Amino acid sequence: MRSTSSSAHEARQALAHRLRELATDAGLDGKDLATRCGWHPSKVSRISTAKTQPSERDIRSWCHACDAEDQIGDLIASLRAAEGTWVTWRRLERAGLKWSQEERLPLYQRTRRFRSYSAWALPGLLQTSQYTEDVLRAVQRQRVPVDDVADAVAARMERQRVLREGRRVFAFLIEEPVLRNTLCTAEAQEEQLDHLLAVSTSPNISLGIVPVTRRRPQLPVENFWIYDNAQVNVELVSGYLTLTQPSEVTAYSDTYARLADMAVHGARARFLIEKARGSSA
């Protein structure tokens, strides 16, 4: 699927530019390169203009034709980075839900400042085991043929160690309806809200709740995470988007700041949690 993200677009353009440079440095025009690779000239044109993304095999053939085998490793790494900016859920979860939970652990371990916004469910770092199981079970039924929910729950619970280890700070924003949106039983939801009350008092955790109001300067947006000031991950209906362009990270940081200004924190946030807890009983 072609991403509309400028990060993905710029990554593909940069890769195409590097491939064109190799051909130019080798003194090859499009027809010469196509002949050496055994391709139709139109394929060279599509790859060199970023209309078609090359495969790893294409990159190897291109580099061999240009006598630039030493560039294969770097170019394949660039290809994988370009592909990684947008991943469909089908691809991310094709081996099951456990892998998709574990795959993000290195990012969590190297991040020191987390900012998270959730419009429909509590973020994974704040979930109880039962809440996680119910959410992941719903996901598995909808789109994942492999049933490894129990292992995925264990992986997510293990990932919560980052809340307690190292000098990390966390800022969570949730929309007020999230406190009532649940796939859990009433007992599991009550347990989850009790847990939310407990973690909200942790010194390294800031919890903000955007209350339901008739007028607001910023509408709800898609769920997203900001890792330090280096990367944003966005959860969309069809896939998982990674943004690293400074302008895009800034755009999400600005959106987060506007939402944070609208949120209530501390005792006022806990009041909303208590209110939701009372309604779930």
Q: What is the CATH class of 88-280? A: alpha beta
Beta bridge partners of 114: 170, 227
Share of the chain above pLDDT 90, in %: 70
* pLDDT mean over 175-179: 96
- Does 1.10.260.40 match the CATH number of domain 6-84? yes
What would the mean pLDDT of 138-155 be, rounded to a whole number?
Answer: 95
**Confidence check: pLDDT of 146 > 60:** yes
pLDDT digits (tens, 9 = 90+) for 24-70: 999 999 999 999 999 999 999 999 999 998 998 999 999 999 999 99
Q: Which residues contact 215 (CB under 8 A, 6 or more apart)?
A: none
Round the average pLDDT of the chain to a whole number and report it. Answer: 91
Alpha-carbon separation of residue 269 from 10, 37, 173, 179, 255 (angstroms): 41, 63, 10, 11, 20
Note the pLDDT of residue 4: 43
Residue-range domain boundaries for the chain: 6-84, 88-280
User: What percentage of the chain carries pLDDT values higher than 70?
Assistant: 95
Is 269's pLDDT higher than 90? yes
* Mean local confidence (pLDDT), 240-255: 89
Average pLDDT over residues 252-270: 97
126: pLDDT confidence band, cut at 50, 70 and 90?
very high
The yes-or-no answer to whether 6-84 and 88-280 have a common fold is no
Give the pLDDT score at 84.
Answer: 65
Predicted pLDDT of residue 181: 82
Quickly state the pLDDT bin for 12 (edges 50, 70, 90).
Answer: confident
pLDDT of res. 209: 98
pLDDT above 80 (res 162): yes
